[in-house]
Amino acid sequence: MAIITISRGTMSGGEALAKCLSERLGIPAVSQEILQEASDRFGISQALLLQQLEKTKGLIRGPSTERGLYLTAIQLALAERARRGPFVYYGHAGHLLMKGVPQVLKIRVIAPLNRRAQKLAETQKISLGEAKKTIEKMDESRVKWTRFLYDVDWRDPSLYDLVINLDSISIESACELVVGTLNQAEFKESPESQTVIEDFLLGCQVKTALVSHGRTKGLELTVSAEKGTVRISGTFETGGIFPSGKHRIKNDLIEVARQVDGVKEVQLTLADIPVVLE
């Protein structure tokens, strides 16, 4: 059975669909639990983690070390969940954080603004106008967040396997539609599925070690793994006319990565960007 990710805007119905699928399929529906696991791992509050993830001010200056650490922590929590079996995730950018994991059914839930605003107004006891402004602001924040971190538009339908408009279909019907899709060959487990998940988990474990270690944190890195072989690629800045420090960084990356259980070999592809000092 596949893992399911649900992307949704505020009051779009994504949480209701997740809970319906959980009951129908007998698998966990998780959202805040993933954040809790990530925050527990690094001893920070969920509030701080969310603040770092969702803030859009100052994005032009580039991603912070803290933001990269927290995103990696969430990705690791998702990888550990995937290892334990199928689940429904309706949290932050699950379809992007689990890119490359097999048999992940990526769903986008949409609903008209007026319907969403009416629900928010009733829930928070505010005017319909206030509710519309709040939702529009939150949607724009999500657009900026995903474009900045992943260079994609959160609303792009090509990022998903299914886009469901809950204005024209009930939660129950949407649930049955998803269950029917899970029965298709593309989302059936294969003998290779668990191996790929194990590789994904190892890659996440290594990246978490790298972004949290004093000698390697702050680097822009991509990490993948296959049968114990870990591949690390990225760029870093070097000062002056003659780049320096690349050999030391390579040694640090290899040393930190090899401390993770399951790593048999480390392959590096690094490019330095000389910074000319004026």
In this predicted model, which residue has the larger pLDDT, 253 or 146? Answer: 253
Tell me which of 88-102, 121-135, 249-263 is least confident.
88-102
Asked whether residue 24 falls in the same domain as residue 141, the answer is yes
Asked whether residue 179 falls in the same domain as residue 231, the answer is no
Q: Which of 145, 163, 187 is the last residue of a domain?
A: 187
Q: What pLDDT does residue 52 have?
A: 65
pLDDT band, very low/low/confident/very high, at 254 (cuts 50, 70, 90): very high
Q: What pLDDT does residue 224 have?
A: 95
Asked whether residue 157 falls in the same domain as residue 218, the answer is no
Report the pLDDT averaged over residues 2-15.
Answer: 93
Q: 77: domain range?
A: 3-187
Asked whether residue 142 falls in the same domain as residue 207, the answer is no
Q: What are phi and psi of 116, to 5 degrees?
A: -65, -45
Exposed/middle/buried for residue 9 (C-beta within 10 Å: 0-12, 13-18, 19+): buried
Report the pLDDT averaged over residues 66-80.
Answer: 86
Q: Quick one: tokens of 99?
A: 């890119």
Q: Which CATH number do you get for residue 56? A: 3.40.50.300
Q: What pLDDT does residue 239 have?
A: 56
pTM (2 decimals)? 0.85
Asked whether residue 60 falls in the same domain as residue 132, the answer is yes
Q: Apex CA 1: angle with CA 154 and CA 90, to 5°?
A: 30
Q: What pLDDT does residue 200 have?
A: 95
Q: What pLDDT does residue 219 have?
A: 85
Q: Which of 123, 158, 187 is the last residue of a domain?
A: 187
Asked whether residue 155 falls in the same domain as residue 217, the answer is no
Q: How far apart are the two ends of the chain, measured CA to CA in Å?
A: 58
Asked whether residue 41 falls in the same domain as residue 99, the answer is yes
Nearest to 1 by CA among 107, 57, 82: 82
Q: Which of 133, 152, 187 is the last residue of a domain?
A: 187
Asked whether residue 78 falls in the same domain as residue 205, the answer is no
Nearest to 108 by CA among 152, 75, 69, 76: 152
pLDDT at 60 over 60: no
Q: Which CATH number do you get for residue 242? A: 3.30.1340
Asked whether residue 162 falls in the same domain as residue 221, the answer is no
Asked whether residue 172 falls in the same domain as residue 248, the answer is no
Using a pLDDT cut of 70, give the percent of the chain over it. Answer: 88
As for how many domains the chain has, the answer is 2
In this predicted model, which residue has the larger pLDDT, 246 or 8? Answer: 8
pLDDT at 54 over 60: yes
Asked whether residue 178 falls in the same domain as residue 199, the answer is no
Q: What pLDDT does residue 244 have?
A: 54
Report the pLDDT averaged over residues 261-270.
Answer: 95
pLDDT band, very low/low/confident/very high, at 188 (cuts 50, 70, 90): confident
Q: What is the pLDDT of residues 192-249, one digit of tens each?
A: 888 999 999 999 999 999 998 999 988 889 999 999 999 999 887 665 444 556 788 8
Three-class SS string for the chain? CCEEEEEECCCCCHHHHHHHHHHHHCCCEECHHHHHHHHHHHCCCHHHHHHHHHCCCCHHHCCCHHHHHHHHHHHHHHHHHHHHCCCEECCCCHHHHCCCCCCEEEEEEECCHHHHHHHHHHHHCCCHHHHHHHHHHHHHHHHHHHHHHHCCCCCCHHHCCEEEECCCCCHHHHHHHHHHHHCCHHHCCCCCHHHHHHHHHHHHHHHHHHHHCCCCCCCEEEEEEECCEEEEEEEEEEECCCCCCHHHHHHHHHHHHHCCCCCCEEEEEEEEEEECCC
pLDDT at 61 over 60: no
Asked whether residue 36 falls in the same domain as residue 88, the answer is yes
How many other C-beta atoms can be found within 10 angstroms of the C-beta atom of residue 269?
Answer: 10
Q: What is the pLDDT of residues 138-175, one digit of tens each?
A: 898 888 888 877 889 989 999 999 999 999 899 999 99
In this predicted model, which residue has the larger pLDDT, 50 or 117? Answer: 117
Q: What pLDDT does residue 258 have?
A: 97
